[in-house]
Structure formats: C-alpha cells, structure tokens
Amino acid sequence: MVRKIFLLCLSVILVATTAYSQEKSIAVGIGGGLTRGINEGKPDDRTIGPLVGVFGMFKNGIIRGLSPEFAFTYYSNGTSEVDGGWSRYSTSHIIPELRLRYSFYDDWVWNTYVFGGVGAMIYNIDDPLPMNRDFEETSGTTVTFPVGLGVGYQIDDDWGIDFNVGAYMTLTDNLNPVYDDIHDGNWAARLGVHYTVARFANDSDDDGLSDEEELALGTDPNNPDTDGDGLLDGEEVNTYKTNPLDPDTDGGGVKDGVEVRMGANPLDADDDILSISPGQKIILKNIEFATGKSEISPSSERILTNALKAMQTNTSMEFEIVGHTDDVGERDNNLRLSQERADAVKQWLVNKGINEARLSTKGLGPDEPLVPNSNAANRQKNRRVEFFRTK
C-alpha cells in the first residue's frame, strides 16, 4: 500500500505540466495531527497517536511550483493492550526531514500539491515490550521517506494553512518491535499554519523584470523577449526605454534589437537606415512633397540627411529608392508621380555628394499599399518612400 502511494505521488509530479505560481517566498509554520502504525500488530488493535512539528518552506525556491521544505516532527503511536502483550508496542519518533513540495495547481488562494523527501527517524520503544519481538534494542535510527499529498489555502498575503496526508516509509523492521519481516512505517495526517517571513521577486524567464512587473506591463513572464525584437524585456524597459510589446518602438521599419546592435537609436525612426542589411528595406516616414508634385519639402531634408549620413559612413551601401502613392487619381498618373518622387530623392542625395551609381529608382504608384486605402490615415501611410538595400 505504501509503495503504491509513493508511485502515485511520483506519477502526479511527472505528468503535471501546468503550474501557476507566485513570487519566491520563505515561510515558517507549525502543525499538528495524528498518526497510525503500518504492518505491526492486528489492524483493529493499532491506536492513533499525536503528531506535532515545525517547518520552514522556500516556496518556488527551485523552479516554479517546486518548493524545498525542512521539517522537524515528533509523534508517537502503538497498539492497545490485548493478547497478553503478544503484539503490544508503543513507540515515539523524532524526525528531521527534507521534503520537496510540488504544486500542480496554484491560483494563489488555493493550491494542491504532492510531496516526497528523506529524513532521519530517531525512535524509542517504550516498555513493556511485546513478546513477539526479534531484538533487544529499544531505540535506534533509520532512514525514512515521507510521501503524500495535500491542499493549501492562503488566508492573506502573510498567513496560510494547509492539510496533508501521507506515509513515512522506512528501511527497518525494528521500528515497531513485533517481528514480521516487513519494513515498518506510519500513516500521518497533519494540519498546519504558516507565516511568510520574506519575499523575493520571481523572474521566471530571467529577463530582468519580475513576474509581477510583467503582468502589469502585459508582457509574457515566461518569454524573455515578448515582442521578438532581439532585446530582453528588462533591457527594453530599464535600459533602452523601448516598448517590450512593440518590436519596432520608433516605427522606423527596423527592429529595436537590430538598431541597438548597429549603434542606432531605437527611439528615433530617422536613423533606422543605419541598421538595415542587404536584402532589407526601410520606410522613410514623413518625407513630404508638394501636393501632386515631386518637389521635396524643406521639412523632409532632416530625414533625408540621416540617409545621407548612413551612405557617407558606409560607402559600400547601395540602395534602390522606391516611391509609392495612395489610390486617389488615375493609376498611370500615380505611377509617374511615384517614379518622379523616387528620382527626386535620388537627385537630392547625388547633389549632396553620393555617387549616383550607388542608387537606382522605381515607382510603384498605388500597387503595393501597406494598408487598405480605406481612410485618410491609411492613405497617408501608403504615400511613402522606401529604401531597399541592394548591397
């Protein structure tokens, strides 16, 4: 029976795959309960004895849901006085033990768990000894293996209670002195109360943000890079001040992580061109032209200056400049206008000293919209100039 309980507890640990846990914390507590012997004496003659103990637990101290626990327990049990003392015994036990508690369901208020561990059982057999005994020693020490399952309830942030049942298995038949050549053990049921004395912020994915902070931000506490931009969530929040939910915080067309690696500013869309590699493209936003014309407005020169600096810094860069329009007007006119605007951007760079052999142009008019041309805001997004790096 004890072996079956142990295997059941072990299987529950192995198949449990979902656990929700709170921060790491240290709690101390006391408990009391009842015990009853296993294997020795007639079942109807075994008495139920008292159990008391203290414990300390490091909740989630190993991994999420897996908590080491140290306990110091005292209990006693035995049999009633029958059969002229043939199988009577009374034994007291002192047990320092180390347990591992695994919570396979934990919603902070309620949690269910299994536990298993190892301890040293120091036992003492009280007089009178039974007639059916196989040794003379009345005390000793053996190894014990506590296993069981339980349920806990968190009263508030500090106080909680839990109830568990289980068994203490041992490696000896001398625990209870009646001879039957079967290893002895004891059933145990206890009710405990614990108090949290310390808390530690839990960072399940090691990204530099606690799980509590991630829940507040809306990031995934089990994914160190929620938006997949190449930066840890903690780096984005604490170092670069970027948005951990947006892979391109500045909206410039290049992921935040790429910009950081290339020395660009992930909060400034104007310098994203410094970060793109051959085969990638970038949208230069807010390059403005006179309505229906290809003349570059003075306000756009600051943005183009960043493209200029990038090409001056890396003289191997070559680009195809692609112009786009919205769908207002005739398609042929938009194709012509987009080509003229791409040519105007190229000419602006050439006038600033860039070899025109490094630049080519193409106008696609309304044929490749970023978003549907369904409103004024979307049409503004579709009126754009893209730089496609060819080398």
CATH number at residue 34: 2.40.160.20
- Which letter does DSSP use for residue 126 in this model? P
Lowest mean pLDDT among 147-161, 227-241, 374-388: 374-388
If asked whether residues 163 and 61 sit together in one domain, one would say yes
Quote the percentage of the chain above a pLDDT of 70: 84
Cβ(294)–Cβ(300) under 8 Å?
Answer: no
If asked whether residues 165 and 27 sit together in one domain, one would say yes
Q: Is residue 36 part of a domain?
A: yes
If asked whether residues 36 and 169 sit together in one domain, one would say yes
Report the C-alpha gap between 165 and 189 in whole angstroms.
Answer: 4
- Is 90 exceeded by the pLDDT of residue 312? no
pLDDT recorded at residue 106? 64
Q: Is the dihedral of CA 282, 285, 289, 293 positive or negative?
A: positive
If asked whether residues 196 and 285 sit together in one domain, one would say no
Q: What is the mean pLDDT of residues 248-273?
A: 79
Most confident of 1-5, 183-187, 293-297: 183-187
Final residue belonging to a domain, choices 200, 216, 232 = 200
DSSP, residue by residue, 255-300:
-HHHHHHTT--TT-GGGGGGG--TT-EEEETT--B-TTS-PBPGGG
Q: Is residue 242 part of a domain?
A: no
Give tens-digit pLDDT for 145-200. Answer: 999 999 999 999 899 999 999 999 998 887 776 666 778 899 999 999 999 999 88
Helix (H, G, I), strand (E, B) or coil at 232: coil
Lowest mean pLDDT among 2-6, 221-225, 386-390: 2-6
Final residue belonging to a domain, choices 200, 217, 247 = 200
- Is 90 exceeded by the pLDDT of residue 286? no
Q: Which residue did the predictor score with more confidence, 330 or 17?
A: 330
pLDDT recorded at residue 303? 75
Lowest mean pLDDT among 107-111, 156-160, 297-301, 313-317: 297-301
Final residue belonging to a domain, choices 167, 182, 200 = 200
pLDDT recorded at residue 270? 66
Range of the domain at 347: 278-389
For residues 214-248, one letter each, b for 16 or more C-beta atoms within 10 angstroms of the residue's C-beta and e for the rest, the string is beebebbbeebbbbebebbbbbbbeebebbbeebb
Q: Is residue 207 part of a domain?
A: no
Lowest mean pLDDT among 95-109, 137-151, 185-199, 249-263: 249-263
- Is 50 exceeded by the pLDDT of residue 344? yes
Q: Is residue 252 part of a domain?
A: no
Q: Is residue 253 part of a domain?
A: no
- Which letter does DSSP use for residue 237 in this model? I
Q: Which residue did the predictor score with more confidence, 369 or 310?
A: 369
Q: Is residue 321 part of a domain?
A: yes
Query: 351 pLDDT band (50/70/90 cuts)?
Result: very high
If asked whether residues 46 and 159 sit together in one domain, one would say yes
pLDDT recorded at residue 248? 86
Query: 19 pLDDT band (50/70/90 cuts)?
Result: very low
Query: 139 pLDDT band (50/70/90 cuts)?
Result: confident
If asked whether residues 175 and 311 sit together in one domain, one would say no
Q: Is the dihedral of CA 347, 353, 354, 357 positive or negative?
A: positive
pLDDT recorded at residue 161? 96
Helix (H) and strand (E) counts for the chain?
A: 7, 12
- Is 70 exceeded by the pLDDT of residue 14? no
If asked whether residues 188 and 81 sit together in one domain, one would say yes
Most confident of 64-73, 128-137, 300-309: 64-73
Work out the mean pLDDT of the chain and round it to a whole number. 83
If asked whether residues 288 and 167 sit together in one domain, one would say no
Report the C-alpha gap between 259 and 384 in whole angstroms.
Answer: 21
Query: 283 pLDDT band (50/70/90 cuts)?
Result: confident
If asked whether residues 95 and 187 sit together in one domain, one would say yes
Q: Is residue 103 part of a domain?
A: yes
As for how many domains the chain has, the answer is 2
**258: its two tokens:** 């790429």
Report the C-alpha gap between 282 and 238 in whole angstroms.
Answer: 27
If asked whether residues 182 and 300 sit together in one domain, one would say no
pLDDT recorded at residue 84? 52
Q: Which residue did the predictor score with more confidence, 22 or 19?
A: 22
pLDDT recorded at residue 360? 93
pLDDT recorded at residue 172? 85
- CATH number (domain holding residue 364): 3.30.1330.60
pLDDT recorded at residue 108? 72
If asked whether residues 21 and 146 sit together in one domain, one would say yes
Give tens-digit pLDDT for 29-73. Answer: 999 999 998 876 667 778 889 999 999 999 988 887 899 999 999
Report the C-alpha gap between 337 and 326 in whole angstroms.
Answer: 11
Q: What is the mean pLDDT of residues 121-132?
A: 75
pLDDT recorded at residue 386? 86
- Is 90 exceeded by the pLDDT of residue 21? no
pLDDT recorded at residue 242? 93
Q: Which residue did the predictor score with more confidence, 268 or 237?
A: 237
If asked whether residues 76 and 164 sit together in one domain, one would say yes
Q: Is residue 373 part of a domain?
A: yes
